[in-house]
Amino acid sequence: MKKIGLLPRIIIAIVLGVLIGNVLPEGWVRVFVTFNYVFSQFLGFLIPLIIIGLVTPAIADIGRTAGRLLLLTVGLAYADTIVAGLLAFATGSMLFPQLIDAEASMAVEKAETLQPYFQLQIPAILDVMAALVSSFVIGIGIAYTDSPTLKKGFSEFRKIIEKTIQVAIIPLLPLYIFGIFLGMTFTGEAYHIMVVFAKIICIIFVLHIVILLYEFLIAGGLARKNPLRLLKNMMPAYLTALGTSSSAATIPVTLEQTKKNGVSDAIASFCVPLCATIHISGSMMKITCCALTVCLISGLPHDLPLFLHFILLLGVCMVAAPGVPGGAAMAALGPLAGVLGFNPDAQALIIALYIAMDSFGTACNVTGDGALAVIIDKIHKGKVAVSS
């Protein structure tokens, strides 16, 4: 019997979670909530190790071009994030005033929260930023000092991480996604905010498709590849992020699908874990749209210079956020209060709006990571010598 691929399994998990969530008793739903809690703790523990295990040997293999590659990747990721924010502001400025009801309610009903039967804390050895900085320092150090022992050690560590991904993470992802959609359907969390802000959410959904299209049109044009085929190959990463709401937790799938788009192992292993932390175009678009919506409803200032300041600062603040579902909204609280003047009630509304659509922004982020990897691989084609 032919093995079912990852993409169909993810789709089946999502459909079953939505259907069964309406009929399954709370006791059984909490069983899956408990599994998801433990699995998310395991993922959180592995994420820094995945970054170190993939990024460090990738930098060491790439060699002395790693410094330029790092600057190129960071520059492209930040530029794309800012463009997404400006696109959201421009679109919202044209459409939102006509769509927002002047008497729209500012109250958001809070759904009940299901608790796991037990909690198992698995603290990570490092946080995401510490893992990234460690990878840069060690990888560039190996590249410039030509340390064969360290290079071999991290290459072997990469094999351990890749095996862990293949055996322990990928097979359990569909069950994890099923549990997420099951819990969201049971509590009603997936629907109640959508009802209040349906028009704005529809525009946000269209915008995230527009972002993906222009990212892959640019990538396909530069690499002379079919952009729609490149985008189609990234769909398993898109759907995985749709369920996990975490860019970092989707790294294994994003990496696998990026390589299927013809990106070299060295570039993919460098760009995908890095972009999972610094490339946040979907999250930027969502928060900008939500912030503009609240400004319009509340009568707060919302001119271009003010929002440009907000977008530029937000692009930096959210760098540390992608490891945690909804983390971008938490990281945005500083710019929301300091630049836009949001009070605690307005900040709480942004969090509620963001979390209601968290998975779509994350899916846009990680899918776009594949486009950036194609662009970077094309720029460095013939310039990067990967040593054995």
Lowest mean pLDDT among 23-27, 194-198, 219-223: 194-198
Q: Can you say whether the dihedral through the CA atoms of 85, 88, 90, 92 is positive or negative? A: negative
Q: Let me know the angle formed at the C-alpha of 51 by 45 and 55, rounded to the nearest 5 degrees.
A: 165
Percentage with pLDDT > 90 across the chain: 18
- Asked if 39 and 202 count as a contact pair (C-beta separation under 8 A), the reply is no
Give the rounded distance of the alpha carbon of 344 from its chain centre. Answer: 26
Give the model's pLDDT for residue 191: 56
Give the rounded distance of the alpha carbon of 185 from its chain centre. Answer: 22
How does pLDDT run across 116-140, given as a tens digit for each residue?
888 888 888 887 668 778 888 898 8
Give the model's pLDDT for residue 283: 87
Give the rounded distance of the alpha carbon of 220 from its chain centre. Answer: 21
Residue 207 confidence class, pLDDT cut points 50, 70, 90? very high
Give the model's pLDDT for residue 102: 44
State how far the Cα of 248 lies from the Cα of 260, in Å rounded to an integer.
Answer: 19
Backbone angles phi, psi at 252, to 5 degrees: -55, -45
* Average pLDDT, integer, range 54-70: 70
How does pLDDT run across 296-337, given as a tens digit for each residue?
877 788 889 999 989 988 887 675 454 444 556 666 766 787
Q: In one letter, which amino acid is 225? A: K
In this prediction the pTM is 0.64
Give the rounded distance of the alpha carbon of 272 from its chain centre. Answer: 11
How does pLDDT run across 363-377, given as a tens digit for each residue?
898 999 999 999 998
- Asked if 345 and 23 count as a contact pair (C-beta separation under 8 A), the reply is no
Residue 82 confidence class, pLDDT cut points 50, 70, 90? very high
* Average pLDDT, integer, range 24-30: 87
**DSSP string for 277-302:** HH--HHHHHHHHHHHHHHHHHHT---
| 7 has a pLDDT exceeding 70 | no
State how far the Cα of 127 lies from the Cα of 139, in Å rounded to an integer.
Answer: 18
Give the model's pLDDT for residue 128: 66
Give the rounded distance of the alpha carbon of 110 from its chain centre. Answer: 24
| 201 has a pLDDT exceeding 60 | yes
Give the model's pLDDT for residue 311: 92
Residue 185 confidence class, pLDDT cut points 50, 70, 90? confident
Q: Mean pLDDT for the chain? A: 79
Measured CA to CA in angstroms, residue 240 lies from 8, 29, 92, 227, 243 at distances of 11, 20, 28, 21, 5
State how far the Cα of 326 lies from the Cα of 207, in Å rounded to an integer.
Answer: 19
| 347 has a pLDDT exceeding 90 | no
Give the model's pLDDT for residue 38: 87
In eight-state DSSP terms, residue 166 is I
Q: In one letter, which amino acid is 343? A: N
Give the model's pLDDT for residue 109: 37
> Counting Cβ atoms within 10 Å, is residue 142 exposed (0-12), middle (13-18) or buried (19+)?
buried
Six-digit token pair at 16? 């079953």
In eight-state DSSP terms, residue 24 is S
| 101 has a pLDDT exceeding 60 | no
Residue 216 confidence class, pLDDT cut points 50, 70, 90? very high
- The size of the chain, in residues, is 388
- Asked if 28 and 193 count as a contact pair (C-beta separation under 8 A), the reply is no
* Average pLDDT, integer, range 213-236: 92
